[in-house]
Amino acid sequence: MVITIDEGKMTLRTIQGKMFIAFSIMICLAIIPISYITYKNASSVIEENATIFISDSIRRADEKLRSTMEEADQVAKVIVTRDMVAQSLLSDTAAPSYEWFQEKKQVEDYIASMAAYKSYIQRISVMGFNGKLFQNGFSRINQTKLQGLIEKGELRENRRHVLFDASTENSMLLVRPLLTGGKSIGLGVIEFHPDFMKRVFEIQPLKGSVIGVVDGRGQIIYHSGSNENVISDLSAVMGDMNKGTGSEAAGRLKEVNGETYLTVQIASDLTGWTTIGMVPTSELLREVEQIRKQLILITVLVLLAVHVISIVLSKQITKNLKRLHNTMKRVGEGQLKARPRIDTQDEVGQLSEMFTTMMTNVQELMEETEERGRQKREAEYRALQSQINPHFLYNTLNTINYLSKIQQVPNIGEISAALVELMRFAVDQKRDLIPIREELELLKRYLSIQRYRFMDRITVSIDAEEATLDCLIPKFVLQPIVENALLHGFGASSERAGRITIKSYCREGSDMTIDVTDNGAGISEEQLEALLRHESERHAREGTGIGISNVKDRIRLAFGEQYGLSIVSVPGILTTVELQLPQCKEKGVVTHELENRFR
């Protein structure tokens, strides 16, 4: 993952950008569902309340229509059951006789008195099947149409008949048959005022609503409002809606001419007409739309606030990260002493503390490496200088060897020749590891010199397995061990005879062992511990050569910590020095391992 920290910019690759995106997503996931649910619930509640309100208004109008119709029907019943009216229709008087005039005036005065206190009644007519007609006031209905009612046989049934004349604007009629002796002799007709339906159904329950009354054939009896497109589609709306709902009302969404309306219908069991209430959802949900716009505005404002907060918060969080980043950049440019100044106790502060500790350790290691390099160069310089004396001694010993041959002194020649061979290996700086075969030859050279010192009272036997002779070993490893056996085991002035045995053999796996055993004086545990701990320092101070601990250190440096030497001693009986070594026969492999270990 790549994190780019850029001052003054906030992208998706920065922590500020990621925090803004994360906060925005969280806010949107919280606000959007809540806003949607709130909007839907509010819309549902408003539609439900509107449905209830419109239904109640229509029911009240229908109840008003019912009560008015029943009141008008009572008037009609009184008129058709009046004996005077029936007798006038059955009498033989005819115009223009005086008896006819009196009869007509008496009946029409009576009819007028019945209509006088009912403002919704415009005219009452009594028609006989014999052609007689009694009326009060002026009729908007054509007399021919009015007389045509006589021909309708269904109107002779003894019940209330409510009719609507579509040819004449808002012409509603209530008809009752006039019976005498169980036989229909005429009709009583009540004509309602032209604005009767308007008085009943002009309820306007909600702004923009339309109220319509449709009969069973889909004919519009009454409508309110000014939207002619909606009015013309009332029949289509009625045809699509369920006509069998009775007096049950249910709000439905209906699209009329591209606009959605909430429609409520109630069927009247009095007239059989269906009253339809329609209100546009745009008006109905106007306040909800305002709420939706406010929610959108609130969401935008919250996102802006989140943007500002994320910038401020992320700056506080990334301030120390930027300091750490800049410090790392300076370190990468070579300013190793650069350190971040962060005092917080959070994760960034802990990271800064670890970075500071790491860079301090790195700087110390680099200084230590530089010091070791300097010391190595000085040691190489001293080594080059020290080669002068060995080469001088090497040439001098060759001269002594040459003179001993001339003077015929073989002992001196043998010692000087052995010493020359040892010096040749000591001077050679190119070979740190040599085969055991060569190491044993060097040991024999050393023993040929010591033989003159100990006058052959020390016997040395070598038993090396053939498989171990080509294995590599640091040079001058066996000589210090044998020298310690001669000096400490037998002593320079002792007359005691002794024996030193050297064995090399392969062990299980890939290791080998070299044992150097002597039957000298032995070493106590205290002396052994002191020998391993202090011998190198003592030899370094006294300049007496290479000690046991030096051999152990060189083996571990060459092959690893699992290799080295161990000493087992029984005072007065024997001492065994055991060397554990790998079976390495290729110098390149060992050198490569050494390079990897010190890299």
The enclosing domain of 153 has a CATH number of 3.30.450.20
8 Å CB contact between 35 and 299: yes
363-382 as b/e, with b when 16 or more CB fall inside 10 Å?
A: eeeeeeeeeeeeeeeeeeee
User: Are residue 120 and residue 225 in the same domain, yes or no?
Assistant: no
Structure tokens at 503: 């064995």
Do 144 and 46 fall into the same domain? yes
Residue 580, phi then psi, degrees to nearest 5: -105, 120
Q: What does the alpha-carbon distance between residue 382 and residue 566 come to, in Å, rounded to a whole number?
A: 33
Spatial CA neighbour of 531 closest among 572, 565, 501:
565
CB environment 172-199: b (16+ within 10 A), e (fewer) = bbbbbbbebeeebbbbbbbbbbeebbee
Count of other CB atoms within 10 angstroms of residue 10? 19
Same domain for 310 and 199, yes or no, is yes
pTM more than 0.75: no
C-beta separation of 266 from 51 below 8 A? no
Q: Which of 179, 358, 330, 193 shows the shortest CA–CA distance to 322?
A: 330
Q: Tell me: pLDDT of 515 over 90.
A: yes
pLDDT classification of 404: cutoffs 50, 70, 90: low
- Tell me the pLDDT band of 286, cut-offs 50, 70 and 90: confident
Residue 57: enclosing H or E segment and its boundaries?
A: helix 15-80
What residue has token string 């910038």?
A: 311
* Domain match, 160 and 52 both: yes
Q: Is the pLDDT of residue 497 over 80?
A: no
> CB-based burial of residue 453 (10 Å sphere; 0-12 exposed, 13-18 middle, 19+ buried)?
exposed
Evaluate if residue 329 carries a pLDDT over 70: yes
What is the domain-level CATH number for residue 244?
3.40.1840.10
Question: Does one domain contain both 193 and 277?
Answer: no
Q: Is residue 494 part of a domain?
A: yes
Q: Domain containing 492 — which CATH number?
A: 3.30.565.10
φ, ψ at 144 (rounded to 5°): -65, -40
Whether 406 is in a domain gets the answer no
Q: Are 476 and 427 in contact (CB under 8 A)?
A: no
- Whether residue 445 lies inside any domain: the answer is no
- Of 266-275, 325-334, 383-392, 397-406, the range with the lowest mean pLDDT is 383-392
Q: Supply the pLDDT for residue 512.
A: 92
Residue 511 within any structural domain of the chain = yes
* Domain identity same for 142 and 43: yes
Query: Residue 298: inside a domain, yes or no?
Result: yes
418 vs 407: CA distance, rounded Å: 18
What does the alpha-carbon distance between residue 417 and residue 414 come to, in Å, rounded to a whole number?
Answer: 5
Query: Are residues 117 and 235 part of one domain?
Result: no
Whether 413 is covered by a domain: the verdict is no
Q: Which helix (H) or strand (E) holds 585?
A: none
- Same structural domain, 349 and 260: no
Share of the chain above pLDDT 70, in %: 75
pLDDT in tens, 548-591: 878 888 888 888 888 989 899 888 888 999 999 998 876 544 43
pLDDT digits (tens, 9 = 90+) for 159-204: 888 887 766 655 788 999 988 877 888 899 888 887 787 788 777 6
C-beta of residue 459 within 8 angstroms of C-beta of residue 555 = no
Closest CA to 31 of 297, 290, 307, 311: 297
Q: Is there a single domain that holds both residue 185 and residue 210?
A: no
Give tens-digit pLDDT for 7-31. 445 555 666 677 777 777 877 787 7
Of 338, 354, 369, which one is at a domain's C-terminal end? 338
Residues 6+ apart with CB under 8 A from 368: none
How open is the CA angle 365-370-376, to the nearest 5 degrees?
125
| pLDDT at 250 > cutoff 80 | no
Of 338, 355, 376, which one is at a domain's C-terminal end? Answer: 338
In a domain, 407, yes or no: no
Residue of 477, 467, 480, 473 whose CA lies nearest to 558: 473
What is d(CA 262, CA 279) in angstroms, rounded to the nearest whole number?
5
Rounded Cα gap, residues 599 and 369, in angstroms: 11
The confidence score (pLDDT) of residue 436 equals: 92
Mean pLDDT of 53-80: 85
Query: 162-171, 401-410, 448-457: lowest mean pLDDT where?
Result: 401-410
Which is it for the CA torsion 363, 367, 369, 373, positive or negative? positive
203/210 Cα distance (integer angstroms):
9
Question: Encoding tokens for residue 544?
Answer: 């007496």
Q: What region, left, alpha or beta, does residue 411 occupy, with left being phi > 0 and alpha being psi -120 to 50 degrees?
A: alpha
CB 86 within 8 A of CB 178: yes
Under 8 Å CB-to-CB from 89, ≥6 apart: which residues?
126, 128, 130, 132, 178, 185, 186
Question: At residue 395, does pLDDT exceed 70?
Answer: no
CA separation for the pair 104, 133 (Å, rounded): 9
Whole domain around residue 78: which residue ranges? Answer: 12-204+292-338
Q: Is the peptide bond before 177 cis (omega within 30 degrees of 0)?
A: no
Domain boundary at 338, 353, 374, which?
Answer: 338
pLDDT at 246: 44
Poorest-pLDDT segment among 14-28, 316-330, 364-378, 518-532? 14-28
Residue 126 sits at φ, ψ, to 5 deg, of -120, 120
Provide the domain count of the chain. 4
Question: Residue 232: pLDDT band by 50, 70, 90 thresholds?
Answer: low
- Whether residues 368 and 470 share a domain: the answer is no
- Identify the helix (H) or strand (E) that includes residue 432: none
Q: Contacts for 227-232 with beta carbons within 8 Å, 24 or more apart?
A: 229/256, 229/257, 230/256, 230/257, 230/261, 230/278
* Same domain flag for 224 and 353: no
Residue 391 lies in a domain: no
Write down the mean pLDDT value for the chain: 76
Q: Compute the Cα dihedral for 355, 361, 362, 367 and give only its sign.
A: positive
Asked whether residue 268 falls in the same domain as residue 309, the answer is: no
* Range in 110-124, 199-213, 242-256, 284-298 with the lowest mean pLDDT: 242-256
d(CA 505, CA 511): 9
